[in-house]
Amino acid sequence: MKNKERGAQLKASLLKEIDRWGIPFYEVPKIELRDARNAPPTDGYITHRAPFVKGLGIHWPHRTIVMSMKVKVEPSLAPSIAHELAHVLVGTSPIGTEEIGSGMLALEYDMAHRLDYLDIWEDWQSEYMFNSADPLDVKGPDDISWGGASPALRARLVSLSFDAARWANLLDARGEPTYKPKQYGPKILPI
């Protein structure tokens, strides 16, 4: 399958995920990052930009994912869309969110695994930085990247994130999505 076709397939699969969770998604001619509390996301305003993609973000007051029609649709877009969805589902603002200590990591990993782009997600995630000040009290050097962490440490962090996602009722006991988002608010596993 060609890169463009694979990108379109992954985007369609992720839009189905977004729809199943009941999260609003708008594709607009262009997006603008600004203090958009009083500006509707349907006009392309976002309050937080997605990492690695200029034309994708969240309008946080509306808990809405917004994407520009000009974004290049390729497989590497999939982890960014999943990342934004995970922010909304976990229910804490992207500013200062504990991505490792919440269900975010598990939700992103789960989507990458189920939709068959785990290799793309691993590459996308490789530069994510975390440190020993993490709520999980990860032992090791400060500011370690996901890609620089040992496979055992990555597996531990994913496992703990799955626990947090189950605790928040985002994943069931088998690790499957519940598609039952709760009210918005912090859903971080008390450790």
Q: Which domain holds residue 49?
A: 3-74
Residue 107, domain member (yes or no): no
Instruction: Supply the pLDDT for residue 190.
Output: 40
Which pTM value belongs to this model?
0.87
- Decide which of 136 and 65 is more confident: 65
How many structural domains compose the chain? 1
User: How much of the chain, in percent, has pLDDT values that exceed 70?
Assistant: 85
Instruction: Supply the pLDDT for residue 187.
Output: 42
- What CA–CA distance (Å, rounded) separates 158 from 54? 27
Instruction: Supply the pLDDT for residue 27.
Output: 94
Give the pLDDT confidence of 103-161 residue by residue, as tens digits.
999 999 999 999 999 999 999 998 887 654 444 555 555 667 888 888 998 898 899 99
Average pLDDT, rounded, for the chain: 84
Instruction: Supply the pLDDT for residue 6.
Output: 95
Residue 53 one-letter amino acid: V
Residue 20, domain member (yes or no): yes
Task: Please give the biggest Cα pair distance in the chain.
Answer: 45
Instruction: Supply the pLDDT for residue 17.
Output: 95
Residue 166, domain member (yes or no): no
Residue 22, domain member (yes or no): yes
- Decide which of 138 and 175 is more confident: 175
Residue 95, domain member (yes or no): no
3-state secondary structure at position 93: coil
Instruction: Supply the pLDDT for residue 135.
Output: 46
Residue 165, domain member (yes or no): no
Return the residue matching tokens 């088998």: 174
Q: Residue 80 has what DSSP assignment? A: H
What would the mean pLDDT of 169-189 be, rounded to a whole number? 72
Instruction: Supply the pLDDT for residue 34.
Output: 75
- What CA–CA distance (Å, rounded) separates 66 from 43? 9
For residue 32, pLDDT beyond 80: yes
pLDDT range class, residue 8, cuts 50, 70, 90? very high
- What CA–CA distance (Å, rounded) separates 117 from 127? 17
Residue 69, domain member (yes or no): yes
- What CA–CA distance (Å, rounded) separates 123 from 94? 21
Residue 151 one-letter amino acid: P
- Decide which of 99 and 126 is more confident: 126
Residue 59, domain member (yes or no): yes
